Amino acid sequence: MTSGPEGSDGVEDLVVACDVGGTAIKAGLVDACGSVRHDDGLPTPVVAGDGAATADAVLAEVVRITARLRESAAERDARVVALGVIVPGLVDAEAGLARYSENLGWRDVPFVRRLARATGLPVGFDHDVRAAGAAEQRLGAGRGRRDVAFVPVGTGISASLVLDGRPYAGGGWAGEIGHLDAGSGLPCPCGGTGCLETVASASAIRRRYEERTGRAVSGAVDVAARLERGDPDARAVWDAAIDALAASLTGLAAIAAPELVLIGGGLSGAGDALLAPLRRALDARLTLQRRPELRLAGLGDRAGLLGAALLAWERVGVRVAEPEPHTSRPDAHRTPAADPAT
Ligand SMILES: [Zn+2]
């Protein structure tokens, strides 16, 4: 692995990455190989019932964290060349806007403009799950692959797509497989019927098991653990989830043809109890579609932070760990257009 790029003065370049979540802001200094050099973070400053005030407080914290991380970069003879920030909800990355977040309550917050003005840095900005998917493709379990779907299964389900090496956003709307009809026949809060999330999200698996048995469980992974003990209710709930996931991934294979599907989120904690039957169910459904390899995601809750770092690097012309077509070349390199030496 190469070291990060250096300016002509020999000072190493780093970026500040911020993953703004519903409960915490994770931040760090990240080099051009995708290594986190220094961690920081704090609880997300939520102003109850006031999305605009929450946005102001979050932006102020990101500016403060950035200043702090710039100081720690200077202490190690490095400098910060860009800032990358990711947020949940609906995001218009091209316009630099956080359109809407149900958890944080904000609407149309110009993150990029406000952070660029306050920090003087180039700002990369995107949706949290999309950025995490890009990080999995470049630095995690999808390293070296160009067509990757990252599918976090937690309270909800979505697919973050990297197609031909580039994140595909569809204006922020792509990959919402959680609200495609997967055949459950159940009503969904979105207004649809049979949505994948009604049976296969980690929350749905837990809820359906509890409703069926009257027994409390700690989560979907706990339901998976009961399969080994021959619990027929766990089996019924689990099989329905696997079947719906396989149906949705079949649609994904037909439309986007990922070579690799990475399952992340809380449900991935079930490991082989999830992957083995899902592989079988998917195999049984696929006919002439490209058969995606199925794996667990590799970066865990670091994926977002690293995704934010990739966005920051991209703003200054560095594509970290980009795979070449048909080869795997994990080293960081500058794109020729951005390299003043070429
Ligand atoms: Zn739905």
- Domains of the chain are 12-133+301-338 (3.30.420.40), 144-297 (3.30.420.40)
β-strand pairing of 78-87 with 12-20: parallel
What are the distances in angstroms from CA 188 to CA 79, 175, 181, 183, 339? 49, 18, 10, 12, 50
> Is 319:335 a contact under the CB 8 Å cutoff?
yes
What is the secondary structure of 95-119 as a DSSP string? Answer: TTEEEE-TTT--EEE-HHHHHHHHH
Ligand 1 mean position to 250 CA, how many Å? 18
Distance 155 CA to ligand 1 centre (A): 12
Q: How far is the CA of 157 from the centre of ligand 1 (A)?
A: 10
Measured in Å, residue 189 CA sits from the centre of ligand 1 at: 6
d(Cα 268, Cα 271) in Å, to the nearest integer? 6
3-state secondary structure of 317: coil
Distance 195 CA to ligand 1 centre (A): 5
Ligand 1 centroid to residue 197 C-alpha, Å: 7
Q: How far is the CA of 245 from the centre of ligand 1 (A)?
A: 14
Instruction: Measure 177 CA to ligand 1 centroid, in angstroms.
Output: 9
Residue 291, pLDDT score: 95
**What's the full length of the chain, in residues?**
342
In Å, the largest CA–CA distance within the chain is 67
- What is the Å distance from ligand 1's center to 180 Cα? 7
pLDDT of residue 322: 80
Q: Where are the alpha helices (DSSP H) in the chain?
A: 51-75, 111-119, 128-139, 197-200, 202-213, 220-227, 232-255, 272-285, 303-315
> How far away, in angstroms, is 187 Cα from ligand 1 center?
8
> What is the Å distance from ligand 1's center to 293 Cα?
26
Distance 174 CA to ligand 1 centre (A): 15
Per-residue pLDDT, 7:
65
Phi, psi of 15 (to 5 degrees): -120, 155
- Rounded to the nearest angstrom, the distance between the alpha carbon of 160 and the centre of ligand 1 is 17
Could you tell me the distance, in angstroms and rounded to a whole number, from the CA of residue 190 to the centre of ligand 1? 4
Q: How far is the CA of 185 from the centre of ligand 1 (A)?
A: 11
Tens of pLDDT, residue by residue, the chain (342 residues) = 444 566 667 899 999 999 999 889 999 999 999 999 999 989 999 999 999 999 999 999 999 999 999 999 999 999 999 999 999 988 999 999 999 988 899 999 999 999 999 999 999 999 999 999 999 999 999 999 999 999 999 988 999 999 999 999 988 889 989 999 999 999 998 899 999 999 999 999 999 999 999 999 999 999 999 999 999 999 999 999 999 999 999 999 999 999 999 999 999 999 999 999 999 999 999 999 999 999 999 999 899 999 999 999 999 999 988 877 654 444 444 444 444 443
* Interface predicted TM-score (ipTM) over 0.90: yes
CA of 323 to the centre of ligand 1 (A): 35
- Give distance in angstroms: CA of 139 to centre of ligand 1: 31
Compute, in angstroms, the gap from residue 158 CA to the centroid of ligand 1. 11
| Angstrom distance (rounded) from CA 332 to CA 4 | 8
**166 C-alpha vs ligand 1 centroid, how far in Å?**
27
Interatomic CA distance for residues 240 and 245, integer angstroms: 9
Rounded CA gap, 301 and 313, in Å?
A: 20
pLDDT value of residue 325: 67
